[in-house]
Copies of this chain bind each other. A is one copy, B any other.
Amino acid sequence: MPLGTDLICTGADVLLFLDQKRTYLVTAKKGERFHTHKGYVCFDDIIGRPFGRRVKSSLGVDFVVFPPRIRDYLRKMRHTTQVLYPKDIALIINYSDIGPGSIIVEAGTGSGVLTSALAHYVQPTGRVYSYEVRKEFVERARKNIERTGLAEFVVLKEGDVTRGIEEERVDAVILDLATPWMVVPLANQALKVGGSFVSFSPTIEQTIKTTEALMDNKFVDVETVECILRRIKVQAGQTRPETLMIGHTGYITRARKTLIAG
């Protein structure tokens, strides 16, 4: 996702940045306005000008206009369920050992946030096969993924991954669903030897069951981690970690597939 030209054209996605908590990912359309609680921004004030400058809203508030990046698209996706935080996406990507060209099975798709992140990293020659059993989620995910421009690297599959995985010899199976232990035997069949199983679960009981299933299926190098991210307020004379933080999102369990006999 290389950054485009620095001149904003009509139809381009732009990120209006007020501060870290107030950013807006919108499409610049000639003659139209975008309304915020700090006044509206006229796209005609933006189009044809370079990215990276300030634009004034009708209330005189400055927004910086940025070309959106992959993290912006992920953060702005519509979702009803809890979505993965960037810290967990980052570790899942790392622990799955994937990269450009990787073939991945993912389940469940959910809102498509992790799906899009995976697609971003495996493009242009890799593919993400993403299973989701709830039809309405598949539709929302499709729209979310299309907006990122990564749809061609994703195959959305409406279906229950605990019933079967059609793909074979995949590089990684990545799970964010309620019963990952039920998918472990299927993941074992779908994976290449040495391929990565990675699963995200909020509770320790899910993590224990998944770990036991991995052991039973002769995975090795099984490990579980939890990532705690602290945001630091950095300001001369007032530097300190932020008062409120996300204390827990989930545990990440990973393992390698073997050919060891049962």
| A66 closest partner in B (C-beta) | B194
Interface stretch among A35-43, A107-115, A160-168, A223-231?
A: A223-231
Contact present for B193 and A52 (CB under 8 Å): yes
Known A-B contacts A2-B171, A212-B236, A230-B228; the reply to A66 vs B256 at CB < 8 A is yes
Copies in the complex: 4
CA gap between A145 and B90 in the complex, in Å: 22
B243 touches A232 (CB 8 A): no
Stretch binding the partner chain, chosen from A25-33, A129-137, A197-205: A197-205
Closest chain B residue, CB of each to CB of A258 = B52
Interface string of A175-218 (1 = CB under 8 A from B): 00000000000000000111110000011110110011000000
Q: Is A34 an interface residue (CB 8 A)?
A: no
The residue that A223 contacts in the complex, of B20, B89, B100, B194, with Cβ under 8 A, is B20
- Distance A221 CA – B75 CA, assembled complex (angstroms): 14
Q: Which one, B196, B224, B257, contacts A232 given CB within 8 A?
A: B224
From B54, B71, B236, B256, give the contact of A208 (CB < 8 A): B236
A198 CB to closest chain B CB (Å) equals 12
Measured between alpha carbons, how far is A103 from B120 in the docked complex, in Å? 15
Task: Write out, one digit per residue, whether chain A residues 51-66 have a CB within 8 A of any chain B CB (1) or not (0).
Answer: 1111000000000101
Distance of A93 from chain B, by nearest CB (Å) = 7
* A99 proximal to B (CB < 8 A): yes
Contact residue among B222, B234, B236, B243 (Cβ-Cβ distance under 8 Å from A248): B243
A170 → B minimal CB distance (Å): 10
Q: Are B90 and A70 in contact (CB under 8 A)?
A: no
Assign chain A's interface to a size class: 35 or more
B93 lies within 8 A of A93 (CB): yes
A20 nearest CB across to chain B (Å):
6
Chain B residues contacting A50 (CB-CB under 8 Å) are 193, 259
**Alpha-carbon separation in the docked complex, A230 to B6 (Å):** 41
A191–B202 Cα distance when bound, in Å, is 36
Q: Which residues of chain A (239-262) have a CB below 8 Å from chain B?
A: 239-251, 253, 256-260
Decide if A86 is an interface residue (CB 8 Å cutoff): yes
What per-residue 1/0 map shows which CB atoms of A87-100 lie under 8 Å from chain B?
10111011101011
A-B pairs, top 6 by smallest CB distance, nearest first, are: A245-B247, A52-B193, A241-B248, A52-B259, A90-B94, A69-B97
Q: Known contacts A3-B171, A71-B95; can you find 4 more A-B pairs with CB under 8 A?
A: A2-B103, A17-B256, A50-B259, A223-B231
A-B contact pairs, 5 of them (CB 8 A): A2-B102, A52-B257, A71-B94, A205-B239, A207-B239
